[in-house]
Amino acid sequence: MALAISMEAIDARARELGIDLDSVDVDSITLPPGEDFDILSDDEDLLQNEDIPELEMGFSNIIVVDNLPVVPPEKYEKLENVVRKIYSQIGVIKEGGLWMPTHPETKKTYGYCFIEYNTPQEAELAREKTNGYKLDKSHIFAVNMFDDFEKYMKVPDEWAPAEIKPYTPGENLLKWLTDDKARDQFVIRAGTFTEVYWNDARRAMPELVYQKQYWTDSYIQWSPLGTHLATVHRQGAQVWGGDDKFVRLMRFAHPQVKLIDFSPGEKYLITYSSQEPSNPRDTHRVLLNIFDVRTGKVMRDFKGSADDFTTGGNMGVSGVSWPIFRWGGGRDDKYFARLGKNVISVYETETFSLIEKKSLKVENVVDFSWSPTDPIISLFVPELGGGNQPARVSLVQIPGKEEIRQKNLFSVSDCKMYWQNNGEYLAVQVDRYTKTKKSIYTGFELFRIKERDIPIEVFELDNKNDKIIAFAWEPKGHRFAVIHGDGPKPDISFYTMRAVNNNVSRVSKLTTLKGKQANALFWSPAGRFIVLAGLKGFNGQLEFFNVDDLETMATGEHFMATDIMWDPTGRFLATAVTSVHEMENGFQIWSFNGKLIYKISKDHFYQFQWRPRPPSLLTPEKEEDISKNLKRYSKKYEQEDQDVSNQVGEQERKRRTQLQEEWLAWVAKWKQLHEEERSYRMELRGGEESDKEEEAEYKEIEAEELVDVTEEIVAFDLDQE
């Protein structure tokens, strides 16, 4: 590093050397080009003590908003406040950073304004969010970056063809669906490793696809259709995909992100973070970003205190419910909503703004949920005024916000809503007080969504005082199961919505299983089969039940199991013991009919997730035809299974032969070594050879053993002695 020398130091050094600097012609001294020998001039010496000026960012933080109303002076302030309110929600406008020029004579505005933000990022986001914003029917904003005007001015007058870049194929994000063995994948996280496997049930073992250490800082998550695998880091989230190497597809910058959530159609990713307040009495500050998964752009962000996001949902971090935003309207990703105080705020993804610029006002609303397939919201409002105003469940059509069905409920203690995955039925579990208010009983309101006028059927158990432990709809079907009872071994009942009496559809009971060690229900994604599971206090009891034949196929146990997950096809079931328990960590894979296929032990086991599949391209009619003619289709796969079985048998025979050969080689090696050391052993034994058993001498030696000693104590008379 060069040493900077001041002029005062040079004067002092010259005096020491006896040199008179006044006699030196400084102008005659020339330095090499670009070289100053680190000698500071007086001006540079002064500049070192001054603050370095901030670099100008140009005009990249300024936007131009066109198509504003042209207003006279008396309406200028009102229009300015409206524009400021809209754009201050997106970022911080600099002081004096909103300017609407006016005509020098009429004093009317020109219909456009300039807005200056603190950062170019805020300006770019404002342009994306508000370009095309409808202030009213006559005024639709046209928003551009100020720098764009200079870019457009440089467009040449003569057209030149664009440069055609060579095509480079991207990653095949659906390659895993073309597996010739029709296997499914799953991902696990254990210790510091994240691993993706094929579930190879034929070989009764998993096949490793990809492994990476420190792949995520907290957890992993598949996207709903299985296209992406998301990882969470301190700097933000990332999504991965491709053939078998899982290349990074996109980064989403969000420092200290804690939670993520995909939209059902995988178009958007919501990220969440919270920041502790400097004042302990204040609540956490929350930031949510909604990213476009394909481009990585922030489509909208939401900021506020944790109190603004604590209504409804499952509690996540810092007391905030998660997911904060719930997606609806099927896989089109058209709408998302969140619960607020006396409102449900519904947004559309075309502009990421409130539908009709207003929230759906519902006094005292405490919960809502979307239909899985249609833009319909079910909402629950509890009783008000000490029971004078009844509770109610309403169905609201979006985007028109039209109430299409309502049911008033009386003496309500609590309410839960369960949608069937095809959106055909809605079950509302209602806990009611008895007349004395001393106890509670449970009933169900069953909505038939697809039928005319949405008829509602009231349904109660045979013993309505039974406690409801679990409820679950059959996927792709018309049945449901209920675990109920107050004893240590509750009952499980199955019902169907398809029973027809006098041309009227009514709920009908199929069967009740008495005294089962179960507290959770897990339907196969394909329907028909269900696992009755006993978790926590029941220590992982499993019963595989065929609802078509109403019979138990098998029972099993995975001691201390914490998680149970069907694969997306309904062929296999995974049970896992995660690091919630210190012991028995790992997972087991079962067939749909309850046969244990294989089990894997993993220390510090955190996660197991099957890779989801996109919906089948087959029509329901085609699927039903395949099911009816399954024997014809299965011949091919039975032969493949036999071939694999033979191959596995041959591999096992070769493995055992190899083990035997290794053992014989080991024995021969040590026999040879033993023979080589024979002379040395004889030398140590004085020339005697004792290797051969027949040459050994045997001597019988008799030995006496003292078993016990008894002491006799004789008393003497001391005087006589």
The CATH number that applies at residue 468 is 2.130.10.10
**Average pLDDT estimate for 59-66:** 91
Q: Domain range holding 135?
A: 62-154
Q: Which residue spans within 293-390 are E strands per DSSP? A: 298-305, 314-315, 321-322, 326-328, 335-340, 343-348, 353-354, 360-361, 367-370, 376-381
| Domain-embedded: residue 502 | yes
Listed ranges 413-417, 680-684, 696-700, 717-721; the one with the highest mean pLDDT: 413-417
Q: Which pLDDT score, from 0 to 100, does residue 46 have?
A: 32
| Domain-embedded: residue 290 | no
The CATH number that applies at residue 82 is 3.30.70.330
Residue with tokens 């919505």: 497
Split at pLDDT 50, 70, 90, the class of 312 is low
Return d(Cα 438, Cα 432) in angstroms, integer: 11
Listed ranges 36-45, 262-271, 320-329, 702-711; the one with the highest mean pLDDT: 262-271
Please say whether the beta carbons of 263 and 247 come within 8 A: no
Q: Which pLDDT score, from 0 to 100, does residue 91 have?
A: 84
| Domain-embedded: residue 203 | yes
Q: What is the pLDDT of residues 638-676, one digit of tens each?
A: 777 777 667 767 777 888 889 999 999 999 999 998 888
Pairing of strands 367-370, 285-292: unpaired
Split at pLDDT 50, 70, 90, the class of 501 is low
Counting residues of the chain whose pLDDT is more than 70, the rounded percentage is: 85
Q: What is the residue-averaged pLDDT of the chain?
A: 85
**Average pLDDT estimate for 357-368:** 92
DSSP for residue 157: S
Is the predicted pLDDT of residue 221 greater than 70, yes or no? Answer: yes
Q: Which pLDDT score, from 0 to 100, does residue 315 have?
A: 47
Split at pLDDT 50, 70, 90, the class of 623 is confident
Q: Which pLDDT score, from 0 to 100, does residue 500 have?
A: 65
| Domain-embedded: residue 721 | no
**Average pLDDT estimate for 327-343:** 90
- Residues 629 and 517 reside in one and the same domain: no
**Average pLDDT estimate for 411-439:** 92
Structure tokens that stand for 9 in this block:
């130091």
3-class SS of residue 6: coil
Structure tokens that stand for 122 in this block:
């805020």
Split at pLDDT 50, 70, 90, the class of 318 is low
- Residues 566 and 644 reside in one and the same domain: no
**Average pLDDT estimate for 503-528:** 91
3-class SS of residue 385: helix
3-class SS of residue 71: coil
Structure tokens that stand for 516 in this block:
């089962």
Return d(Cα 49, Cα 451) in angstroms, integer: 81
Task: Tell me the sheet residues that pair with 575.
Answer: 564, 588
Please say whether the beta carbons of 529 and 544 come within 8 A: yes
**Average pLDDT estimate for 479-484:** 97
Listed ranges 279-283, 368-372, 498-502; the one with the highest mean pLDDT: 368-372
Q: Which pLDDT score, from 0 to 100, does residue 40 have?
A: 42
**Average pLDDT estimate for 127-137:** 89
Q: Which pLDDT score, from 0 to 100, does residue 235 have?
A: 92
**Average pLDDT estimate for 341-354:** 92
Q: What is the pLDDT of residues 571-599, one digit of tens each?
A: 999 999 999 998 899 999 999 999 999 99
Q: How far is CA 372 from CA 250, 327, 378, 425, 464, in A?
A: 28, 9, 11, 10, 29
Q: Which pLDDT score, from 0 to 100, does residue 562 have?
A: 95
Question: Which string of DSSP letters, residue by residue, matches 193-224?
Answer: EEEEEEEETTTTEEEEEEEEET--SS-EEE-T
Please name which of 437, 490, 484, 438 lies closest in space to residue 460, comparing C-alpha atoms: 484
Phi first, then psi, for residue 54 (nearest 5°) are: -70, 140
Pairing of strands 134-136, 139-140: antiparallel
| Domain-embedded: residue 360 | no
Q: Which pLDDT score, from 0 to 100, does residue 43 have?
A: 37
Return d(Cα 27, Cα 284) in angstroms, integer: 66
- Residues 106 and 121 reside in one and the same domain: yes
- Residues 644 and 536 reside in one and the same domain: no
Tell me which of 567, 593, 615 is where a domain ends: 615
Structure tokens that stand for 711 in this block:
């002491």
- Residues 467 and 610 reside in one and the same domain: yes
Q: Which pLDDT score, from 0 to 100, does residue 111 have?
A: 94
The Cα diameter of the chain in Å comes to 152
Is the predicted pLDDT of residue 394 greater than 90, yes or no? Answer: yes
Q: What is the pLDDT of residues 534-543, one digit of tens each?
A: 998 888 999 9
Structure tokens that stand for 366 in this block:
């405490």
- Residues 466 and 607 reside in one and the same domain: yes
Please name which of 532, 548, 530 lies closest in space to residue 540, comparing C-alpha atoms: 532
Please name which of 615, 418, 427 lies closest in space to residue 526, comparing C-alpha atoms: 615
Is the predicted pLDDT of residue 32 greater than 90, yes or no? Answer: no
Residue with tokens 């109430």: 403
| Domain-embedded: residue 256 | no
Is the predicted pLDDT of residue 720 greater than 50, yes or no? Answer: no
Is the predicted pLDDT of residue 719 greater than 70, yes or no? Answer: no
Is the predicted pLDDT of residue 404 greater than 90, yes or no? Answer: yes
Rg of the chain over all Cα atoms, to the nearest angstrom: 39
Count of structural domains, the chain: 3
Structure tokens that stand for 92 in this block:
């911080």
Is the predicted pLDDT of residue 45 greater than 50, yes or no? Answer: no
Please say whether the beta carbons of 220 and 230 come within 8 A: yes
Q: Which pLDDT score, from 0 to 100, does residue 384 have?
A: 85
Please name which of 289, 359, 251 lies closest in space to residue 90, comparing C-alpha atoms: 289
- Residues 519 and 538 reside in one and the same domain: yes
Please say whether the beta carbons of 433 and 414 come within 8 A: no
| Domain-embedded: residue 419 | no
**Average pLDDT estimate for 366-380:** 95
- Residues 91 and 73 reside in one and the same domain: yes
Q: Which pLDDT score, from 0 to 100, does residue 311 have?
A: 65
| Domain-embedded: residue 103 | yes
| Alpha helices per DSSP H over 90-144 | 120-130
Please say whether the beta carbons of 208 and 277 come within 8 A: no
Question: Which string of DSSP letters, residue by residue, matches 444-510?
Answer: EEEEETTSTT--EEEE--SSTTSPEEEEEEPTTSSEEEEEE-SSSS-EEEEEEEEEEETTEEEEEEE
How does 154-165 read in b/e, with b if 16+ C-beta sit within 10 Å?
eeeeeeeeeeee
Is the predicted pLDDT of residue 18 greater than 60, yes or no? Answer: yes
DSSP for residue 52: P
Return d(Cα 413, Cα 278) in angstroms, integer: 39
Structure tokens that stand for 160 in this block:
């030149």
- The distance of Cα 195 from the centroid of its chain, to the nearest Å, equals 16
pTM tops 0.75, yes or no:
no
Comparing 228 with 157, which gets the higher pLDDT?
Answer: 228
Is the predicted pLDDT of residue 6 greater than 70, yes or no? Answer: no
- Residues 67 and 111 reside in one and the same domain: yes
Q: Which pLDDT score, from 0 to 100, does residue 706 have?
A: 63
Split at pLDDT 50, 70, 90, the class of 8 is low
Q: Which pLDDT score, from 0 to 100, does residue 284 have?
A: 79
Which residues, 6 or more positions from 223, have their beta carbon under 8 angstroms from its beta carbon? Answer: 229, 230, 239, 262, 266, 293, 612
- Residues 637 and 587 reside in one and the same domain: no
**Long-range CB contacts for residues 448-452, cutoff 8 Å, separation at least 24:** 448/424, 448/497, 448/505, 449/371, 449/374, 449/376, 449/395, 449/423, 449/424, 449/425, 450/423, 450/424, 451/505
Q: What is the pLDDT of residues 75-115, one digit of tens each?
A: 999 999 999 999 988 888 999 999 999 999 999 999 999 99
**Average pLDDT estimate for 246-267:** 94
- Residues 520 and 560 reside in one and the same domain: yes
Tell me which of 607, 633, 649 is where a domain ends: 649
- Residues 536 and 638 reside in one and the same domain: no
Split at pLDDT 50, 70, 90, the class of 502 is low
Q: Which pLDDT score, from 0 to 100, does residue 44 have?
A: 38
Listed ranges 118-127, 273-282, 346-355; the one with the highest mean pLDDT: 346-355
Is the predicted pLDDT of residue 67 greater than 90, yes or no? Answer: yes
